[in-house]
């Protein structure tokens, strides 16, 4: 019973069927004729059939040999195509890039990166996994992403982290609410305490932006009115656009979402409350060329 056919055996049998001569093929392969004959005899013995009729000149394949050569060519072709496709994956021509990110960063930070990755590696498919920060930390540590964008701190015993541009916080509210908090019109940056009279749209309890909001309130010693508690930043943004209330958002998100002048944007002066996001990868894991390129774009490397 044949247990294994190696590539060399297949190649030699195919080439011998084409040249019809042990001596000519041996010369072409730069090996001795006895060595070539030994390879073919060993193959025939392993298969239990004769592949070549040695009584004819030039050499002819037997019926079994003709079938073997036909199928061997298919196997060699499939192997070559497989190796070529693997080389495409190795070089980054093909592949799957899995990125973990929060929904709001997926909306403003990731699109331009994905566009440039697809321009450089058109054969690469991108899969975005949008989750909350805590789940992202867990899944990144489990190696479920090529990389993730997560707010610091992270477990640097398990994850390698490369900081990117910090989130600058801004208060966003509609122009119809401007009369509620007079005195802010001429200032591009404000103290959070100046926003006490504005009704606020906040995120749900235990979310990072809600925690930041509460820290700002405590630091400014104010008790603003909460008009709406929303599930995510996109909803909070839409509520602010509708004039329901002001909301606290990263300035980068606001700048990417602004399409007209209907909203008032005030950057906070309190830089202590900035969030520090980072691109994280599982320590020791392989990083593909296209993932490395995407990471370089996020952390601002040239090229």
pLDDT, tens digit, 9 for 90 and up, residues 204-232: 887 888 888 998 999 899 999 999 999 88
Give tens-digit pLDDT for 95-135.
889 999 988 788 788 999 999 999 999 989 999 999 888 89
Helices 7-19, 33-47: crossing angle, 10 deg rounding: 110
| Token pair recorded at residue 237 | 């943004």
pTM of the model: 0.61
Return all residues near 167 (Cβ < 8 A) that are at least 6 apart: 151, 250, 251, 252, 274, 275, 276, 277
Which of 177, 189, 153, 146 is CA-nearest to residue 247?
Answer: 177
CB 270 within 8 A of CB 85: no
Contact, 149 vs 101, CB < 8 A? yes
């Amino acid at each position: 019973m044949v247990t294994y056919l190696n590539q060399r055996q297949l190649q030699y049998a195919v080439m011998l069927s084409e040249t019809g001569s042990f001596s000519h093929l041996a010369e072409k392969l730069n090996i001795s004729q006895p060595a070539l004959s030994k390879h073919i005899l060993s193959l025939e013995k392993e298969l239990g059939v004769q592949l070549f009729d040695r009584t004819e000149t030039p050499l002819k394949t037997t019926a079994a040999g003709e079938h073997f050569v036909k199928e061997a060519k298919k196997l060699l072709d499939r192997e070559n195509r497989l190796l070529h496709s693997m080389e495409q994956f190795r070089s980054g021509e093909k592949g799957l890039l899995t990125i973990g990110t929060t929904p709001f960063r997926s909306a403003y930070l990731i699109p331009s990166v994905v566009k440039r990755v697809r321009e450089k590696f058109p054969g690469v498919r991108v899969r975005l996994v949008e989750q909350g920060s805590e789940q992202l930390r867990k899944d990144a540590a489990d190696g479920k992403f090529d990389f993730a964008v997560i707010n610091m701190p992270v477990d640097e015993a398990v994850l390698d982290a490369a900081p990117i541009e910090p989130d600058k916080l801004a208060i966003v509210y509609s122009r119809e609410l401007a009369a509620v908090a007079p005195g802010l019109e001429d200032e591009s940056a404000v103290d959070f305490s100046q926003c006490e009279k504005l009704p606020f749209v906040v995120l749900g309890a235990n979310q990072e932006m809600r925690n930041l909001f509460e820290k700002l309130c405590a630091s400014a010693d104010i008790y603003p009115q909460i008009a709406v508690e929303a599930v995510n930043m996109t909803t909070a943004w839409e509520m602010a656009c509708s004039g329901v209330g002001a909301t606290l958002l990263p300035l980068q998100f606001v700048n990417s979402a602004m399409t007209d002048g209907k909203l008032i944007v005030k950057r906070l002066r309190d830089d202590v409350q900035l969030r520090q996001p980072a691109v994280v990868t599982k320590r020791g894991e392989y990083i593909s060329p296209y993932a490395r390129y995407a990471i370089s774009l996020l952390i601002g490397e040239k090229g």
